[in-house]
Structure 1
Amino acid sequence: MIKKILKSYDYSLILAVILLCVFGLIMVYSSSMITAVARYEVDADYFFQRQKIALLVGGIAFVVMMIFPYRAFLNSGILKIIVFGSLGLLASLFFIGTVAGNAKSWLRFGGMNLQPGEFVKLSVIIYLSAVYDKKHSYINEFGRGVLPPLIFTGLICFFVIIQPDFGTAFIIALIAICMILCSGMAIKTIGKLISLVIVFGISMIPFIIWKGDSIFSEERLSRFTGFTDPFVNEADSGWQLVNSFYAIGSGGLTGLGLGQSVQKYGYLPESHTDFIMAVIAEELGIFGVMFVLILLSFIVLKGFSIARKCQDPFGTLLAVGISSMIAIQAMINLGGLTGLIPITGVPLPFVSYGGSSILLLLICMGMLVNISMFTNYRDSYQELSKREKSNAGVVRPMEGKRDSLMR
């Protein structure tokens, strides 16, 4: 049995995750060594060492989630811990949270920082998967099937928005939309749901006006105005985007060489987080960019393939949610550094510096590998059963000849 389980793991997916994490660790060191010394006055390998620790912890979590049966999350006790724990973590930010990047989004434990908003993404994915699995028979009933998951997701987004962290709230909303579309809900019910969301958005207008000074601060507005024509305010709101363009343009086909980026010398303030792909493009050229994009695309497509093959609704929705999260974050990050959308401060999955982000992603990938393992194991067991049944009804030539001779 253990041998069959080991054979059922998707080692191509595991290898893709490992390659991307190792590559990201190398690029975190390359992109952050100048920033660490010049801006934060720490050792050149400061961010590299912290990312390495996060990867080690995440690697342990990855292995645990590969083994831990994903259907255990359907347990009502575990679901309650996830729901109330998520809301409690977000609420605690208003009392003991730490401000970073003009948002009160961090909890500090000793020398470690934890961003609850990252882990809440997985909480929403697990909760919605469980709810739509259990309520599938009455998923279109507004009171029992539609409102409970909508209220939970709305509360989560509300707590994240008032930090304020619009990027994370936007990602959570998009993940929820992807999962709703794949839940089997009727088009008519989805239409009602959209109407309710519009009403909720209108009801938020008084709050937005009340908190307008913090929500629509000059710095936040500059992210939206700067991407339309960054060269107009090159020294102000367009600074990061213009230097991102310079980095991408300088790299060309093969790049300037690993460690040879010019833009990381203070021109890209977030060179090891949001704009790490710009440094990759500058140092490793198109080949480095394609390496990352191919691996990310493989992981996302593999996730959706696992969702399609999985016959368990809970496993299917988990795989859809995890794959959607990675795809959405990658598109928002790449869209921001190329000027296609406003800069939102979303890291590039598996590559950007960030302990909370890498830990969440490795936990999610462990769950995805676990879903794949159970799906492959079930398929191999069903195939073996079919063979045994077909063989049971076959009369071998020698057996038929022996029977005739005996007659």
Structure 2
Amino acid sequence: MWKKIIKSYDYSLILAVFLLCGFGLIMIYSSSMITAVARYNLPSDYFFKKQLTSILLGSIAFFIMMIFPYRAFLNGKFLRIIFFGSIAVLILLFVFGHVAGGAQSWFLLFGRALQPGEFMKLSVIIYLAAIYEKKQSYIDEFEKGALPPVIFTVLICVLVILQPDIGTALIIAMIACSMIICSGMGLKSILKLLLLASIFLLILSPLIVWKADTIFNSARMSRFTGFLNPFENEQGSGYQLVNSYIAIGSGGLTGLGLGESVQKYGYLPESHTDFIMAIVSEELGIFGVSFVLILIAFIVYKGLYIARKCEDAFGSLIAIGVSSMIAIQTGINLGGLTGLLPITGVTLPFISYGGSSLLLLLISMGLLVNVSMFVNYREKYKKPAATIGISQNK
């Protein structure tokens, strides 16, 4: 039994994940070594070591999620923990949270910053997948089937916006939308949800106005508006984007060489986080960028393939949620550094520096690999897998 299970894991998916993590680790060292010394007066390998620690911790979580049967998450007690625990954690941020960059989005634990908002993405994925599976028989009954799971998503998004963290809230909302569209819900129910969302935004507007000084402060708004014409204010709101263009344009086909970036010498802010792909382009050219994009596209494709092949709605919606999360986050990040979208501070999956983001991604990918194992086992051996007493049909 166990030999069959081991053979059923998708090792190409696992390899793609850790190739990206390894490549990201190399690029974080290259892009952050100057910043660490010149800006923060830290050792040149400071961010490299912190990211390496996150990879090691994330790898443990990845393998735990990979072997733990995903349908165990359908347990009602677990779903209640997700619902009330997620809301409680976000509320506690306003009391005990650490403020950085104008946002109260982090807990400081054992010398490390943990961003709960990142983990809300997975909370929403698991919760929506579980509830919509349970409601499949009456999913088109709006008040009973379609609406209740959305309430959780709305609460999470509002609490994240108030930190304020608009980028994360946007990603959570978009993940939820992709899962709702794929949940089996009819067009009529989806249109009702859109109408309700519009009404909710109108009701929420007084709260947004009340927090306008933090949500829409000048520094944050300049990041949103600077992309429209960055060359009008090259030393102000357009500074980061203009230097991103210079980095991307300097790389050409093969790049300047690993470690040879000029922009990382203080010219391009956040070169190891939001704008790390600009440094990849500058140092490794189109080849380096293509390597990253092909691997990310492969992971997204695998996720959608798993969703299509999975016979239960829970596993299928998890696969859709995880793959859409990676695709959406990648699109927003690349759109920001190329000037196609406003700069939102969204990191590039697996590549950018960020412990919370990487830990979330590895946990999520462990869950996706878990779902794929059940799918592969059923296709190879023509019967559902069962491990630790949790069956695929349960």
State the TM-score bracket (shorter-chain normalisation): over 0.9
Alignment of 1:274-293 (within 5 A): 274-293=274-293
What is aligned with 1:133?
133
What is aligned with 2:82?
82
Name the amino acid aligned to 2:306.
I
Structure 2 SS opposite 1:259: coil
Structure 2 SS opposite 1:99: strand
Mapped partners of 2:10, 2:141: distance in 1:
38
What is aligned with 2:249?
249
Mapped partners of 1:357, 1:225: distance in 2:
25
Alignment of 1:312-323 (within 5 A): 312-323=312-323
1:208 Cα offset (Å) = 1.7
What is aligned with 1:198?
198
What is aligned with 1:338?
338
What is aligned with 1:158?
158
Name the amino acid aligned to 2:109.
F
Mapped partners of 2:209, 2:64: distance in 1:
46
What is aligned with 1:304?
304
- 1:365-401, CA deviations, whole angstroms, 9 ceiling, x for partnerless residues? 10111100011111222179xxxxxxxxxxxxxxxxx
Mapped partners of 2:312, 2:224: distance in 1:
42
Q: Does 1:348 align with 2:365?
A: no
Mapped partners of 2:3, 2:146: distance in 1:
42
Mapped partners of 2:339, 2:356: distance in 1:
26
Structure 2 SS opposite 1:231: helix
Deviates more, 1:228-237 or 1:210-219: 210-219
Structure 2 SS opposite 1:56: helix
Structure 2 contact 377–383 (Cα < 8 Å) conserved = no
Name the amino acid aligned to 1:256.
L
TM-score normalised over the length of structure 1: 0.93
1:224 Cα offset (Å) = 2.0
Q: Does 1:71 align with 2:68?
A: no
Mapped partners of 1:368, 1:215: distance in 2:
34
- 1:101-142, CA deviations, whole angstroms, 9 ceiling, x for partnerless residues? 211000011301100000010000000000000011111122
What is aligned with 1:103?
103
Structure 2 SS opposite 1:105: strand
Mapped partners of 1:359, 1:128: distance in 2:
21
- 1:3-28, CA deviations, whole angstroms, 9 ceiling, x for partnerless residues? 11111000100110111000000000
Mapped partners of 1:54, 1:213: distance in 2:
34
Structure 2: 5+ residue runs without aligned partners? 385-394
Alignment of 1:133-282 (within 5 A): 133-282=133-282
What is aligned with 2:390?
none
1:209 Cα offset (Å) = 1.7
- Give the length in aligned residue pairs: 384
Name the amino acid aligned to 1:73.
F
Structure 2 contact 117–160 (Cα < 8 Å) conserved = yes
Name the amino acid aligned to 2:64.
V
Structure 2 contact 232–238 (Cα < 8 Å) conserved = yes
Mapped partners of 1:382, 1:295: distance in 2:
30
1:220 Cα offset (Å) = 1.4
Paired-residue identity, %: 68
1:56 Cα offset (Å) = 0.2
Name the amino acid aligned to 2:79.
L
Mapped partners of 1:277, 1:335: distance in 2:
11
What is aligned with 1:31?
31
Mapped partners of 2:13, 2:220: distance in 1:
37
Mapped partners of 1:3, 1:319: distance in 2:
24
Name the amino acid aligned to 2:296.
L
Structure 2 contact 350–358 (Cα < 8 Å) conserved = yes
Alignment of 1:323-334 (within 5 A): 323-334=323-334
- 1:237-266, CA deviations, whole angstroms, 9 ceiling, x for partnerless residues? 001000000000000110000001000011
TM-score normalised over the length of structure 2: 0.96
Name the amino acid aligned to 1:301.
Y
Structure 1: 5+ residue runs without aligned partners? 385-407
Mapped partners of 1:65, 1:219: distance in 2:
39
Structure 2 SS opposite 1:204: helix
Name the amino acid aligned to 2:182.
C
1:206 Cα offset (Å) = 1.3
Mapped partners of 1:383, 1:342: distance in 2:
48
Which structure: larger Rg?
1
Structure 2 SS opposite 1:106: strand
Name the amino acid aligned to 1:96.
F
- 1:259-317, CA deviations, whole angstroms, 9 ceiling, x for partnerless residues? 01000011112000000000000000000000000000000001000000000110000
Structure 1 SS opposite 2:106: strand
What is aligned with 1:359?
359
Mapped partners of 1:171, 1:257: distance in 2:
34
Mapped partners of 1:205, 1:178: distance in 2:
25
Mapped partners of 2:189, 2:151: distance in 1:
16
Mapped partners of 1:234, 1:78: distance in 2:
50
Structure 2 SS opposite 1:223: helix
Alignment of 1:42-81 (within 5 A): 42-81=42-81
Structure 2 contact 224–344 (Cα < 8 Å) conserved = no
Deviates more, 1:324-333 or 1:100-109: 100-109
Mapped partners of 1:210, 1:76: distance in 2:
37
